[in-house]
Structure 1
Amino acid sequence: MDSQKLSVESAGTVNMARDSSLAGKTVLVTGGASGLGAALCQVLSASGARVVVADLKLEKAAAVADSLRGDAQAEAIALDVGDPQAAEQAVNDIVGRFGRLDVLVNNAGTDVTLSMEELSVADWNRVINTNLNGPFLLAKYASEKMRRAGGGHIINIASTAAKRAWPNASAYHASKWGLLGLSHAMHAELRPHNIKVTAVIAGGMRTPFLLDRFPDIDVSTLQDPANVAKAVKSVLLLPEETVISEIMVLPMKESSWP
């Protein structure tokens, strides 16, 4: 593999020269094994960050981490973000191993595309647990470490589903609207401790999350997940005195936003 370029198949093709803008930073990306998560790992690693790829599927997370190694340092861990003990242990292990956790990216997400009538209580709980409880748990434990270290940055990946609604996605909408509110509450609470919090409203992307469930979707209305990852990087590179609490990143032909 060309040492100046990286590629993660599941995130699309992203070619970029390495830089050192995030050198020395330790970043945890949840749901990092595919889609936007893999693109985030790639973009942030190519900027010099040490990336911890967390996912329910350890083998796939390890494959992403392996693809990032070379000049960069990357590790893979298995993580159920909605498990309180596992979330706390993951944060403790990362800080114990690397001495710091500078950036948490709450990206892991799931959905069950069914009407309220068809949606089981178990499916409702699973979506809420992954998409809303998980970010709360990881932010709770990560922010404790960040406070002691003097600062940090938490990125919460939301969706246009946090701004408007469509049928057969009640659990997903509830979780993403909740995550957006939670993110702004974190922003208000953690600012005095020099911890930045950013909610990313991501429009439709060419990822398995959409393509596997909606094979007939018009891909021309979707964006490369790498573009959203680059927007996240730009937020992380803002001057110390500035924070973006919410950013919306849409494809030019966005179909779920006016």
Structure 2
Amino acid sequence: MGKDDFGTLQGRVVLVTGAGRGLGAAICETLAADGAYIVATDVNEESALSIVDKIKSASGEACGFQLDVGDEQQVQQVLAAAVQHCGRLDAVINNAGIDVTVGIRELDSADWDRVLRTNLTGPFLLAKHCLAHLAPGGHIVNIASTAARRAWPNASVYHASKWGLMGLTHALHAELRSVGVKVSAVIAGGMRTPFLLDRFPDIDASLLQDPLNVARAVKFVLTQPPETVIPEVMVLPMKETSWP
């Protein structure tokens, strides 16, 4: 990528986790429309391949892999396969996330471990192992949440994972700048995605935002000039109820 090509994603290879639906799918489609080659990964292989088909039907370029982000061996294998297939890797978007919405008394330790494994250990593993493959000027983007800024009941493990993800993001931002790798967090407010709509059928969707709006923020973060990095950006619906 030339020094004047920062405004576009043309020719850049971007791996997205949790790509099969919701925000992950929106990110894939948005970046592909701007010329990125998308490596779509999801714990559900069929979902990953479905978004690949959708991108290709719109004349974009993509490939897909099954990936459990908490499995270190799988992470290493998929990163190597993506680079072998595409010839390079320019960015990793850590979007995969899960939640268990119960009070602390009902929260099983196994569910605590499972959520942290996906939401926090996963981004750690992707960041750790992608460094061996990132092209010069590489970028790691972690999808955080307003749950990393404000707390509400019955979400202790989700809050812990997202606050931890913000800490990891800023620590890596400080550590990796010296080697030319950018690290950013996109803090997303409530979106009209299955993550919320499937679990809270009575939620007022008018209070939520289109995930494409957050995907555009991811594109904005990725297309800054080489001399500039955005450590974090927050994208809220105008009627966000989890933020003042």
**TM-score range, shorter-chain basis?**
over 0.9
1:226 paired with 2:212, answer yes
Query: What is the number of residues matched between the two proteins?
Result: 237
Structure 1 position 93, deviation (Å): 1.0
Q: Any idea what SS the aligned residue of 2:140 has?
A: strand
Residue in 2 that maps onto 1:54: 41
Residue in 2 that maps onto 1:173: 159
CA–CA separation in structure 2 for the residues paired with 1:238 and 1:50? 18
Structure 1 position 144, deviation (Å): 2.3
Structure 1 position 170, deviation (Å): 0.7
Residue in 2 that maps onto 1:28: 15
1:256 paired with 2:239, answer no
**CA deviations over 1:191-236 (Å, ceiling 9, x no partner):** 0111111111100000000001111111111000000000110111
CA–CA separation in structure 2 for the residues paired with 1:97 and 1:215? 40
Structure 1 position 96, deviation (Å): 1.6
Corresponding letter in the other structure for 1:179:
L
Give TM-score scaled by structure 1 length.
0.90
Residue in 2 that maps onto 1:111: 99
Q: Any idea what SS the aligned residue of 1:216 has?
A: coil
CA–CA separation in structure 2 for the residues paired with 1:191 and 1:211? 38
Listed as ranges, the gaps of 5+ residues in structure 1 are 1-19
Residue in 1 that maps onto 2:120: 132
Q: Any idea what SS the aligned residue of 1:241 has?
A: coil
CA-based RMSD: 1.0
CA–CA separation in structure 1 for the residues paired with 2:132 and 2:164? 22
CA–CA separation in structure 2 for the residues paired with 1:78 and 1:145? 19
Corresponding letter in the other structure for 1:164:
R
1:92 to 77, 80, 102: 80
CA–CA separation in structure 2 for the residues paired with 1:123 and 1:201? 24
Structure 1 position 98, deviation (Å): 1.3
Map 1:98-247 onto structure 2 (within 5 A): 98-146=86-134, 149-247=135-233
Residue in 2 that maps onto 1:42: 29
Corresponding letter in the other structure for 2:85:
R
CA–CA separation in structure 2 for the residues paired with 1:224 and 1:150? 32
**CA deviations over 1:1-55 (Å, ceiling 9, x no partner):** xxxxxxxxxxxxxxxxxxx921110010000000000000000000000001100
2:53 to 29, 47, 66: 66
Listed as ranges, the gaps of 5+ residues in structure 2 are 1-6
**CA deviations over 1:114-162 (Å, ceiling 9, x no partner):** 111101111000000000000000011112222xx32201000000000
CA–CA separation in structure 2 for the residues paired with 1:47 and 1:25? 10
Structure 1 position 61, deviation (Å): 1.2
Residue in 2 that maps onto 1:76: 64
Give TM-score scaled by structure 2 length.
0.95
8 A Cα contact 2:137 2:226, kept in partner: no
Corresponding letter in the other structure for 2:114:
R
Q: Any idea what SS the aligned residue of 1:174 has?
A: helix
CA–CA separation in structure 2 for the residues paired with 1:104 and 1:228? 16
Q: Any idea what SS the aligned residue of 2:154 has?
A: coil
Q: Any idea what SS the aligned residue of 1:32 has?
A: coil
Residue in 2 that maps onto 1:13: none
CA–CA separation in structure 2 for the residues paired with 1:153 and 1:98? 17
CA–CA separation in structure 1 for the residues paired with 2:186 and 2:131? 18
8 A Cα contact 2:190 2:237, kept in partner: yes
